[in-house]
Chains A and B, each alone.
Chain A
Amino acid sequence: MLLEVNPLVLPDLGLVVWSTLAFLILMWVLGKFGWKPIMKAISEREQGISDSLATAEKVRAEMAQLKSDNEILLVQAREERAQILKEAKEIKDKMINEAKDQAKDAAAKIMQDTQQAIENQKMAAIIDLKNQIGHMVVEVSEKILRRELADKAEQEHYIKQLTDEIKMN
C-alpha cells in the first residue's frame, strides 16, 4: 500500500465512546437545567419587550389624544374669553349710554323746571311792578288832585318833584 491510511483519520473507539457519553450528559444536564430555563426566559423577555413597546405606543397615542383634547379646550376657552370680553364691552357701552341719556333727560328736566321758575318769578315781578306802578300813579294822581291848581308853576314844580321822588324809588 503506497499511501497508508493516516492515523489522524482513523477514529478511536475510546474517544467515540467518551464523546457519546459526554454529549449525552451534556444533553441531559443542560437540556433539563440549562436550555429550558434560558430559552423560556429569553422568550419571556422578548414577549415582555414587545408588550412594553405596544404599551408605550398606546400611551403615546393616548398622550397625543390628550394633547389634542387640551388644544381644543384651550381654543374653546379662548373663544369663550373673547365672547365674554365682547359681552362685557357691550354691557359697558350700554350702561354708559343709558347713564348719558338719563343725565341728559335729568338736565333737560332741570332746565325746564328752572325756566319755568324763572318765568314764574318774572311774571310775579311784572305783576308786582304793575301793581306798584298803578299804586304810585294813583298816589301821584291823588296828590296832584289834592293841590288843585294853585299855581301853575307850582304845579309844574310839584309834578317835577313827584317824578323825582319816583326816580328816587
Chain B
Amino acid sequence: MVAAFSICILFFYNISLAQEAHSSHPAEQQPNTKQDKEDELDVAGTILEHIRDDHSWHLWGHTSIPLPVILKTDKGLEVFSSARLSDEHHNPVVYNGNYPYQQIEGRIKVVNEDGSINAEASKKLYDFSITKNVLSMLISVALLIIVFLGVARAYKKTGVSSAPKGFQSFIEPVIIFIRDEVARPCLGHQTDRFMPFILNIFFFIWINNLLGIVPFFPGGANLSGNIAFTFTLALFTFVITNVNGKGDYWKHIFWMPGLPVPLKIFLMPIELLGVFIKAISLTIRLFANITAGHILVLSLVSLIFIFKAISASVVVVPFTVFIGLIELLVGFIQAFIFAMLSALYIGMAIEENHEQDLVL
C-alpha cells in the first residue's frame, strides 16, 4: 500500500521534474535564498532533497557538518572537505581539484568552464565520499557493535544462570524471535550456520530504519531508503544463497525435474531470471517502503507550507505523529521481512531433495 503510494509519488515527481527541466533550470541552480522559498515552494524538490544522500550533514539553519569527499578520477585519488563545494548560503560552488567539481542535484560532477556538465570526465569520476548516509551507516555499525558486544559481555559476566538484565532482556527475546520464527522454519538443522548472517541483516536494517525516523542528528539519514544500501544487502543474500546452493537447487533452475523436455527448456530462463528477481525484489521492497514513509511524513509537513497557514498544523501534526508511529512498525516489519526472505531463499537453496517446488 505504502510502497505503491510512494512509487506513484516518485513517478509524479519524475513527470514534474521532466517538465521543469524543459521550462527552467533545476531548483538547485537557482539562488535558493529564503525570500525565494517563501515566494514559490518546490515541495517535490524539497522532499527529494531530504530523502537523498548528501555530502554534508545539515543540522539546523545554516549550520551543517561538512563531510570528507573522496574522489577517484583518472588523475588519481583526491580527498577534500565538502565545505569547499558550497558557499556560506549552501549554494553549490565550483571547487578546482584535479578537475573543476560541482555538486549537481546532490552528485559531484566535473564541470566545464561555462558551468555545464563535462559528461565524458564525469563518467570516469568515482565518488567514494563519506556522505551523510555513509556516516550514518558507520554510526549504526558502531552502535550495533557497542550494543551487541555489551550484551555478549553481559552474558559472559553474569552467565546464563541469572535472568537477563537491562538491554540484554530487550535483545534476547528479539534474537529468540528471529531464531524461532525466521531462521528455524526456513533453515532447519542448518540454522546455527546462517544465524549470524540473518541476525546481522535484521539488526543492521532495523537500526538504520529507526535512525532514519529520528529527524535530527545522528538520525535523519535515509540510509535504508537508499537503493544502494538495500541493493548491497540484497547482494549479500544473493551471493550467500547461490554460493551455498546445493545440486538440487541448480537442478530446479536449469532442468526442472518431473516435467516434459519442452517445458524444461521453457522454464529454464524463467527460473534463471527468478534467481535475480529475488534479489531485486529484496532491494526494491525495503527501498520503497522506507522511502515511502519518509515521503509521507515530509509531504504531510509540507502541507503547512503549501497552505501557507500555521493552523494547518492542527491537522498535520497528529497525522505526522501517526505516520511516524506506523513508520516505527514498518521499520521493524521491513527488517523482519528482509531477514525472513533471506532465510527463506537460503533455506530453499540449501535444501536437499525438494519434494515440491516452492515458487515465490
Contacts and interface: CB of A to CB of B under 8 A. Distances in A.
A30 B144 contact: yes
B10 A37 contact: no
A41 B53 contact: no
Given A9-B227, A44-B160, A23 B236 contact: yes
A140 B234 CA distance: 169
B297 interface: no
Interface in A1-46: 2-4, 6-20, 22-23, 25-27, 29-31, 33-39, 41-42, 44-45
Contacts of A36: 196
Contact of A26 (B105, B200, B227): B200
By secondary structure, the A interface counts as helix
Contact of A10 (B128, B155, B227, B229): B227
A79 B159 CA distance: 54
Contact of A35 (B21, B51, B195): B195
A4 B115 CA distance: 22
Contact of A37 (B155, B176, B231, B236): B155
A134 interface: no
Given A27-B196, A30-B145, A45-B160, A19 B233 contact: yes
Interface size class of B (residues with CB under 8 A): 35 or more
B227 A39 contact: no
Contacts of B134: 14-15, 18
A44 B160 CA distance: 7
Given A15-B133, A30-B149, 4 more contacts: A11-B226, A26-B144, A38-B148, A42-B176
Interface of B: 10-11, 13-15, 17-18, 21, 48, 51-53, 70, 105-107, 126-131, 133-134, 137-138, 141, 144-145, 148-149, 151-152, 155-156, 159-161, 171-172, 175-176, 179, 192, 195-197, 199-200, 204, 226-229, 231-233, 235-236, 287, 291
11 contacts: A3-B11, A9-B227, A13-B128, A14-B128, A19-B232, A20-B236, A22-B137, A22-B141, A23-B204, A37-B152, A41-B156
Interface of A: 2-4, 6-20, 22-23, 25-27, 29-31, 33-39, 41-42, 44-45, 48
